[in-house]
Amino acid sequence: MSSRQRQPPPAFHVMAKPRGAICNLDCQYCFYLSKEELFLGSQFRMPDEVLEAYIRQYIAAQRVPEVTFTWQGGEPTLMGLDFYRKAVAFQRQYCPPGVTIHNALQTNATTLDEAWAQFFKEHDFLIGVSLDGPRHLHDAYRVDKGGKPTFERVMAGIALLKKHRVEFNILACVNALTAEHPIEIYRFLRDEVEAQYLQFIPIVEPQAGDALVSARSVNGRQYGQFLIAIFDEWLRRDVGRVFVQLFDVALGVWHGMPAGLCIFSETCGLALALEHNGALYACDHFVEPRYHLGNIQEQNLLELVASPQQQQFGLDKRQTLPRYCRECQVRFICNGGCPKDRLLRTPHGEPGLNYLCEGYKAFFTHIDEPMRLMSALLRMQRSPAEVMRLRSGAAGAVAPASTHPREAEKRTRRGRRGRRGQAIHE
């Protein structure tokens, strides 16, 4: 490892889990609930001294003018409102002049009430809500501890956010069932939930044995077809009105910018997870003893992020990429996807091919032409939304102002926080 590689990064992202893996629901594909076993005997509540140390160290470590805190779980609202009042107070205390602090919180929305919504509005929290689609699709796997459906309670939480004009986005997991209903889900989220910002996160659950993944996991072909169906509907009528994280990321890459989402970046390692007791891990998906970096009560957060162990974790994403990916036509945007999903062998027998490869290849190939067109429009300082008129040939269609500066800024905020939407628990 060269000294250059050990330079601390100018900015990185941490998902803080103040209540650890504790949740009031029992979503069947949640990968995080089992992490409770790593901290047996714990109260699973972040103490004030850990909260203060985290806020102080995280702000000090960022060499950028905007700092975003992401709260996640488990279910982070189970900490109660007072915890977040303290968090906001510590943020004020440690925020240097010229720095703006943002907060994002991922929730199942079932615990929200008027007081939470008022607090979120007052402190400008961006709320991510986990909702898989209409009732019959959402309730298939998102149940509470008693196995009861949760759709009604989630929708009640969203209604409160809307009533108080809290900014929210929707994270929908794509599993073997929901993958068969792309348009129904997209239209429900767009027209009935009235969500403007969407993330579609694939469920890939490895398991021992011949099957490789669980029956509810989405496969590559399904995921690709799901994304293509939604992209085509979006391209016909919603560019500049609805923001799908993956489509935004893709447009950025086609336009020559970095992916801004770890799964499609060449390397990763700048999106870590902080457990309730101050233990820091390489990534939300690698909260395992082998990827434990240290505790922020004993060692500074920035030192841990810049450690050779974490640097190597990030570089491995590129260094373990099989030849099949290195020679792939869509590698520039795919980069082999997330290492956690690299479960297959390539046709040459090399390990490390992404389980969703077939879908990524189909989707990124499918969007090539419209992405080139939108990028060309951007270069001409025109709105990418004009792509709808140009492709339909409809004269006189009015393009929405998707490139309004406020909108662009909001999208950037979401891009940074949303990592993959993997911010979030499946």
Binding residues for ligand SF4, rule: CB under 6 A, are 262-263, 268, 271, 283, 285, 317, 324-325, 328, 330-331, 334, 336-340, 354, 357, 360-361, 420, 422
Please report where in the chains the tokens 């980069």 appear, as a residue.
335
Question: C-beta of 297: minimal distance to ligand SF4 in Å?
Answer: 24
CA distance 315 to 162: 41
Residue number with CB closer to ligand SF4 (240 or 359):
359
Q: Please enumerate, as own/partner, the contacts of 321-324 that have beta carbons within 8 Å and a separation of 24 or more.
A: 321/352, 322/346, 322/348, 322/350, 322/351, 322/352, 322/353, 323/348, 323/350, 324/348, 324/350, 324/353
Residue number with CB closer to ligand SF4 (46 or 201):
201
Cβ-based burial of 412 (10 A; exposed 0-12, middle 13-18, buried ≥19): middle
Residue number with CB closer to ligand SF4 (338 or 385):
338
Contact 331, 29 (CB under 8 A): no
Tokens, residue 305 = 């992020």
Q: Which residues pair with 287 in a beta bridge?
A: none
In the annotation, is 132 catalytic?
A: no
Residue number with CB closer to ligand SF4 (78 or 283):
283
Residue number with CB closer to ligand SF4 (137 or 367):
367
| DSSP assignment string, 220-255 | HHHHHHHHHHHHHHHHHHTBTTBEEHHHHHHHHHHT
Tokens, residue 4 = 């250059």
Residue number with CB closer to ligand SF4 (151 or 247):
247
Query: 371 in helix, strand or coil?
Result: helix
Element (H, E) at 325: helix 323-326
Tokens, residue 339 = 């290492």
Question: C-beta of 381: minimal distance to ligand SF4 in Å?
Answer: 32
Tokens, residue 240 = 């500049």
Vertex 354: Cα angle to 348 and 360 (nearest 5): 110
Residue number with CB closer to ligand SF4 (108 or 335):
335
Question: C-beta of 325: minimal distance to ligand SF4 in Å?
Answer: 3
Query: 169 in helix, strand or coil?
Result: strand
Query: 329 in helix, strand or coil?
Result: coil
CA distance 2 to 354: 29
Instruction: Catalytic residue, from 132, 238, 248, 284: name it.
Output: 284
Q: Which residues pair with 329 in a beta bridge?
A: none
Contact 335, 184 (CB under 8 A): no
Contact 11, 68 (CB under 8 A): no
| DSSP assignment string, 99-152 | -EEEEEEEE-STT--HHHHHHHHHTTEEEEEE--SSHHHHTTT-BBTTS-B-HH
Question: C-beta of 35: minimal distance to ligand SF4 in Å?
Answer: 15
As annotated, the active-site residues are: 284
